[in-house]
Amino acid sequence: MNEKLGEVDLSKLNFGDLIEVDWWDHSKREIRLKPKGGRRYFVFDVPVKSVGIFFGVAGEETKHIVLIRDIFIWPSMGDFDIDATAILLGATKSVRVMGSGLLDPKLAIQLKGAWERGQVRIVKRGQHMRLKISEVTER
């Protein structure tokens, strides 16, 4: 991957790195328009700072940085529920690596294996991604 962003070459990021991403929010806005009264200015540029675990870059038509905030471990099922943020590369101002190798190595191998095999599906409850883990051999 050759995408470069600010000072960070995304190809230098590793799965599991703790990163900080500065980006512009691009979510829905609700605006009330009033025919009377003084002029108001609308704020559309809303800066966001997100910190989490770098999972990778995904997307077919437009690329997103996938940042993991929480990992819920279900030992009896072998599954993980993941709270993720997908940040559009085009809305990203900067990316900074805050640390590497911070995840438990066994957990990192399981999560990376599921991510690489594409065993990801959106769970309809809330906005979680579930990674179904098959047997993963340690490398």
Specify the pLDDT at position 123.
55
What pTM value is reported for the model? 0.71
| Of 34-43, 109-118, 130-139, minimum mean pLDDT range | 130-139
Torsion of CA 30, 36, 40, 44, to 10 degrees: 20
Q: What integer pLDDT is reported at residue 79 of this predicted model?
A: 75
pLDDT in tens, 35-70: 777 676 666 778 899 999 999 888 888 888 999 998
Average pLDDT, stretch 100-112? 89
Q: What is the pLDDT of residue 60?
A: 81
As to burial, measured by CB atoms within 10 angstroms (0-12 exposed, 13-18 middle, 19+ buried), residue 111 is: buried
**Residue 89 tokens, joined:** 């590369």
Nearest 5°: CA angle at 56, between 132 and 25? 110
Residue 94's H or E segment, with its range, is strand 92-99
Structure tokens at 59: 């997307």
Domains annotated for the chain, with CATH where assigned, are 4-26+45-132 (2.30.30.100)
Tokens linked to 75: 């030992």
Q: Yes or no: say if 24 and 93 are a contact pair by the CB < 8 Å rule.
A: yes
